Amino acid sequence: MGVKALQRNRDVFLDNKFPFRICQDAILTLFPYMSKRKVKCSAADFVFFVQNPSIKYENIPNPELKKEIQAIGQGSFVLYCEKDGLIQDRDCIVCLNHANSVTPMAAKELVSSFKLRYLSV
């Protein structure tokens, strides 16, 4: 009995360095142990990623966030937003970083939940 934490990537990356990706179901368990592949963003940027199923680098509105995501390199990473600086209230979404784009990897139900929380404010 447990939660799937990693899943084999079907995508082929340039150097195939990351054969596995992080699963959204286990992110709250894995998050405290992550150090390099997590990116903090503002609530507005988080909403942008939640609303778009695939995002080209040139369409990311925040240039600093764009640079940080590109610097991570290909593979999965976690985009997170803290509300009022409280870590326990953070929201996270797993994203796949491709050569030219970013794809949020969350279920439709979770995306709907984020939209309710962030867009109804």
Whether residue 91 is contained in a domain is answered as yes
Domain count, the chain: 1
Q: Mean pLDDT across the chain, nearest whole number? A: 82
> What residues are paired with 102 via a beta bridge?
55, 97
Whether residue 67 is contained in a domain is answered as yes
Whether residue 4 is contained in a domain is answered as no
> What's the pLDDT at 47?
86
Total-model pTM: 0.82
The beta strands (E) that lie in the chain are given as 6-8, 20-22, 38-40, 55-56, 75-83, 86-97, 101-104
Whether residue 52 is contained in a domain is answered as yes
In the predicted model, residues of the chain with pLDDT beneath 70 are: 1, 10-18, 83-90, 120-121
Q: Which two tokens stand for residue 53?
A: 């199923």
Whether residue 61 is contained in a domain is answered as yes
Domain span at 76: 25-119
